[in-house]
A and B are shown apart, each in its own frame.
Chain A
Amino acid sequence: MSIRSFGQPIKRNEDGRLLQGKALFVDDVELPRMLHAAFVRSPYAHARIRGIDTQAAKKRPGVVAIYTATDLGAYWRPGFLLVPPPPIAGITFNERTQVPLVKDKVRHAGEPVAVVIAEDRYIAEDAVAEVVVDYEELPAVVDLEQARDARSGFVHDDLKTNVAAHVRQIKGDYAKAVAGAACVIKRRFLYDRGSSLPIETRGVVAHWDAKADRMTIWDTTQAPVFLRNGLAAMLGLSERQVRVIAPFIGGGFGPKIMMFYPEEVILPWAARKLARPIKWIEDRFEHFFATTHERGQLHDAEIALTTDGRILGVKDVFLHDTGAYDPYGLTVPINSQCTLLGPYHIPNYDSTFTALFTNKPIVTPYRGAGRQHGVFVIERLLDIAARELKLDRAEIRRRNFIPPDDFPYNNQIIYQDFTALTYDSGNYGPILDKALKAIGYAGFRDEQARQRAKGKHLGLGIVAYVEGTGIGPYEGAKVQVQASGKVSVATGIGTQGQGHYTSFAQIVADQVGAKVTDIEVVTGDTDQFYWGAGTFASRGAVVAGNAVNEAAKVVRQKILRTAAEHFECAEADLVIEDGKVTVNGVPGKSVALGVLANVANPMRGAVKPGTEPGLEATSYFGPEMGATAAGVHAMIVEVDPETLMVEIKDYVVVHDCGTVINPLILAGQIHGGVAQGIGNAFYEQLVFDGQGQLRNASLADYLIPTALDVPRMTLDHTVTPSPLNPLGIKGAGEAGAIPVGPLFAQAVEDALGLPDKGIELNEIPLSPSRLWELAGSADNITASQQARVR
């Protein structure tokens, strides 16, 4: 084989189109006679609908139709439960899924009440303003703790409770751990809501072709295959009659895996009814309500330790805000519950959560998907423990790392993929060592003192985490050598910028001996590949990547067999490289892959029994469980003690995601994750008032970090391959975002010497204003720092 492309920093195949404005995104789809949809959305978070008057709006020129829940007839039904609750003993789960249009009661601001279909979006919005809805506003259930109180009212009246779920998972015996502990620390931690906010909002175009008897849907989904299957069932069509295309997607980050969003349900139905294509593009204001959110948990946690800082046990009781509905089951809180255990040996664990319905937009996974909440809790507990026990914060982590020879390590509780939470492989000490060295940990205290003498307040943070990635069920791929010599690869997952067009091509290139640029990857088109689950849980490269590899291996065998017959030689004598097969040591004896593809698909003669035409193979891969990636992040901040503005001076990520396909793409994933983590830690917060109104639904007030807020990062890696898949890959999509909250809190505390004043930062997001409130008064900080310097 020639130089392997696997593992190389290869430039992306998809960039040429994207850089010239030639890539197709959903809003770029233009069809003849296309109509445009806009939704009438509730201004109230909790309200009964007494009536809807569409008469005036219907009269507006250019309006084609207006539908309410009544018009949907039997098509109206609550959405599917996407992820059923895991098999955990004693679990409570109340399924209440979103509805296409509100019939009786609005449960969050922005919930759709009616849809206007018009000749263009401008007219549709004019008509939306003319639809008169008679609402009876009800008190909103907003605060998590209040949601538990029956006097606050119920989001779903028939339940007579706001409890969506109650889950307890236990490992060992926490009471015993406490009995033997030298130190028990108990704290409350808050992690507030944020939005994934891809720069491309969601969108759907539905086109019913009556003559072909087929429905084509372009959708910004991360899971086109599931979407096709569900829509076919809802529409009473066969799956073969429905084609879902997820073209280029402008960022996903989780909420684009959610389905079936009301708009996805209504557009195909209306397109069929009106016999015209319809487009809906979510506008940015809608996005803040109509696309799902994440985060929003309140933890009461405690940790029991020995005098030398070894963890004996952890107990956590937390509330999880699931929003108005729970279509995604328990994925987010289960991830929080499991990921809290981190890279540490925690022999006793007692974790209970209560998921609560509130009158706020729905919560489903967003990059990290609950993992950061768990990491925040354990990392903050360890910081506090280190102070109490007078231990170095890096050392307390190191002492509790699971030793490298204890893998696979079974944590004995159930993970989001319904299997026991088992870490496949890992070696955490070297990751910490590299991070400490890169951030300059050993010399930092001296540097901090030197800078403080100059009036500068520097602080350092260092945290560790694990991430369960690459879960099942499965993905598949079809690899096919074409007569042109190019190789086509099709898979069912969607892609939102992760570079699948390139990383999958790299995997195939090494097997079939073609150039990466000659390998054309198709993702997200259900007509190209029938089966699949979707892009989520850092699983694209792991699960689809291995399926691609398996299919490519079979194609390689077919190439060798066909070429051996062609040259009448032994397969062992053949070499595949540079798009051709040559006979080793025989100059001139060479055949191009494209020619072999024709040989394998003859115009005359018969394909022999037991063989198939063409150089093509389809394979599937389903890991028995998720692969566990790990990492350590470290950073140095400078805080202005008067304004409480924070500047990140240095940022280090050391990460282990097993075998790396493309280091360029991997670095991009880490950079982007850290940027979102920084947003989550210090900039982004969805601020609701007491009536469930979102107070900052614009990009002017919901603050995404800019190029001036995200620092240059230093990345390093260790490689502990996963034994769970032939390529040894672990997922990397979410790792950057997961540990930034506790890192920020630790570093800012350190910079301002807050622990010495008895102040802890046990909530995320922080902000300058919130820091000022928590710290009491900046003047005190300054005074205490000056005292220390003297």
Chain B
Amino acid sequence: MKPAPFRYVPAASLEEALALKAEHGDEAKFLAGGQSLIPAMNFRMAQPAILIDINPLTALSYVRQDGNAIRVGALTRYRTLQRDAAIAGKLPLMAEALPEVAHPAIRNRGTLGGNLSHADPASELPAVVSALGGTLHTRSKKGTRRIAAQDFFTAALTTALTADELLTEIELPVLPPRSGTSFLEVARRRGDYAMMGVACAVTLNASGACAEARLAYCNAGETAMLAPKAAAALKGQRIDDKTARAAAERAKAEINPFGNVHASADYQRHLAGVLTRRALLVAAERAGA
């Protein structure tokens, strides 16, 4: 299990990295944390001709509050995110999901940008970023783009990134007051990809009814699946066991899990229902319902 030959270029600057990517397109891969890419290369499932190592570009590692948003540099490692006060305070949904991502040794290397660019639908963070309605900032030699999370993930392991583009920043809105979130997953073992997971965000109105809800799922289809109908139907309703159950039933119909060696598609769908109900109740409680 040794990688096929490739050319390795540690990026001296962002401009150099982008120029190389523009030159080589799909033949080249950016190397961030490498915790998904290098295993794929060791299995020879990925055989890039050129590996552009962006780890030297430390300016891409940051967490900044900017008005009503948290901006995260694409090269920020999970470990850093887990220990960041702004993430813990302003993005509790992400803080709750991070410990579910693999194990400490992996989180010491893996990066948010690398994770999202890899776009594994079973991963936790695409669901979190989708549930939060994040915006992904990209750069290429030609310029910059802003892509909404729900447009970024186009299929399993496929994103809207063009062959010359690098994801540079993830912008995540801070939820308004009277909001609550919950991340729940069921995995065979701690640190495994979830058989099913849900990222849930709820905002209540003054009377305690649901003003806005968002539900996003891991391992529920080609991408981080959203359940917009289930979420919309909650608007104006008090979130309780009955409405949460109804939302769960709606969400089950909106997702499209494939099934795998660990979980049948039916079981995954069933789990989505259980987790949706539980997550909505927790999120509503946290919102102050």
Contact = CB atoms under 8 A, between A and B. Distances in A.
Interface of A: 121-122, 125-126, 129, 283-285, 642-643, 645, 683, 685, 687, 695-696, 698, 700-701, 703, 705-706, 708-709, 767-769, 772-773, 777-778
A767 B262 contact: yes
Interface stretch (B70-78, B81-89, B231-239, B266-274): B266-274
Given A122-B2, A285-B1, A643 B262 contact: no
Contacts of B44: 125, 129
Contacts of B1: 125, 283-285
A706 B186 contact: no
B189 A769 contact: no
Contacts of A683: 188-189
B270 A701 contact: no
30 contacts: A122-B5, A125-B2, A125-B44, A126-B5, A129-B4, A284-B1, A285-B43, A645-B186, A683-B188, A683-B189, A685-B261, A696-B261, A700-B192, A701-B261, A701-B262, A703-B188, A703-B189, A703-B192, A703-B262, A708-B190, A709-B189, A767-B188, A767-B262, A768-B186, A768-B188, A768-B195, A768-B267, A769-B195, A772-B266, A773-B264
Contact of B190 (A283, A643, A706): A706
B14 interface: no
Q: Chain B interface secondary structure, helix, strand, loop or mixed?
A: loop
B263 interface: yes
Given A769-B263, A769-B264, A772-B266, 15 more contacts: A125-B2, A125-B44, A126-B4, A642-B274, A683-B188, A683-B189, A685-B261, A695-B261, A703-B188, A703-B262, A705-B189, A768-B186, A769-B267, A773-B266, A773-B267
A128 B147 CA distance: 42
Nearest to A120: B2
B192 A778 contact: no
Contacts of B267: 768-769, 772-773
B51 to A, nearest CB: 15
Contacts of A121: 2
B88 to A, nearest CB: 23
B238 to A, nearest CB: 23
Nearest to A702: B261
Contacts of A285: 1, 43
A62 B174 CA distance: 57
Contacts of A701: 261-262
Nearest to A38: B2
Nearest to B188: A703
Contacts of B270: 772, 777-778
Interface string B248-289: 000000000000011110110011001000000000000000
A433 to B, nearest CB: 35
Contacts of A685: 261
Contacts of B190: 706, 708
The 3 A-B residue pairs whose C-beta atoms are closest, nearest first, are A283-B1, A769-B267, A769-B263
A205 to B, nearest CB: 18
Contacts of A772: 264, 266-267, 270
Contacts of B4: 125-126, 129
Contacts of A696: 261
Contacts of A768: 186, 188, 195, 263, 267
Nearest to B47: A129
Interface of B: 1-5, 43-44, 186, 188-193, 195, 261-264, 266-267, 270-271, 274
A122 B189 CA distance: 32
B196 to A, nearest CB: 9
Contacts of A129: 4, 44
A285 B264 CA distance: 24
Nearest to A772: B267
A283 B264 CA distance: 30
A777 B266 CA distance: 10
A787 to B, nearest CB: 19
A367 B112 CA distance: 42
Contacts of A698: 43
A769 B262 contact: yes
Nearest to A777: B270
A703 B2 CA distance: 23
Contacts of A284: 1
| A683, A698, A709, A772 — most chain B CB neighbours (10 Å) | A772
A203 B168 CA distance: 44
Contacts of B43: 285, 698
Contacts of B195: 768-769
Contacts of B266: 772-773
Contacts of A703: 188-189, 192, 262
B76 to A, nearest CB: 24
Contacts of B191: 706
Contacts of B261: 685, 687, 695-696, 701
Contacts of A125: 1-2, 4, 44
A89 B80 CA distance: 69
Contacts of A708: 189-190
A660 B190 CA distance: 36
A298 to B, nearest CB: 21
| B4, B44, B270 — most chain A CB neighbours (10 Å) | B270
| A121, A642, A700 — most chain B CB neighbours (10 Å) | A642
Nearest to A771: B267
Contacts of B189: 683, 703, 705-706, 708-709
A642 B192 CA distance: 20
Contacts of B193: 700
Contacts of A126: 4-5
A284 to B, nearest CB: 7
A708 B1 CA distance: 28
Nearest to B265: A769
Nearest to B193: A700
Contact of B274 (A643, A695, A706): A643
Nearest to B3: A122
A659 B57 CA distance: 63
Nearest to B264: A769
B246 to A, nearest CB: 15
B41 to A, nearest CB: 12
A683 B188 CA distance: 8
A573 to B, nearest CB: 62
A467 to B, nearest CB: 28
Nearest to A122: B2
A709 B190 CA distance: 9
A345 B262 CA distance: 40
Nearest to B5: A126
A217 to B, nearest CB: 24
B280 to A, nearest CB: 15
A438 B44 CA distance: 51
Contacts of B188: 683, 703, 767-768
A459 B44 CA distance: 45
A744 to B, nearest CB: 15
A683 B189 CA distance: 9
A695 B270 CA distance: 23
Nearest to A709: B189
| B2, B5, B191, B266 — most chain A CB neighbours (10 Å) | B2
Contact of B186 (A643, A700, A709, A777): A643
A700 B195 CA distance: 13
Contacts of A700: 192-193
A708 B267 CA distance: 23
Nearest to A682: B188
Nearest to B274: A642
A767 B189 CA distance: 11
A116 B188 CA distance: 38
Contacts of B271: 643
A59 B193 CA distance: 42
A683 B190 CA distance: 13
Contacts of B262: 701, 703, 767, 769
A543 to B, nearest CB: 37
Contacts of B3: 122
Contacts of B5: 122, 126
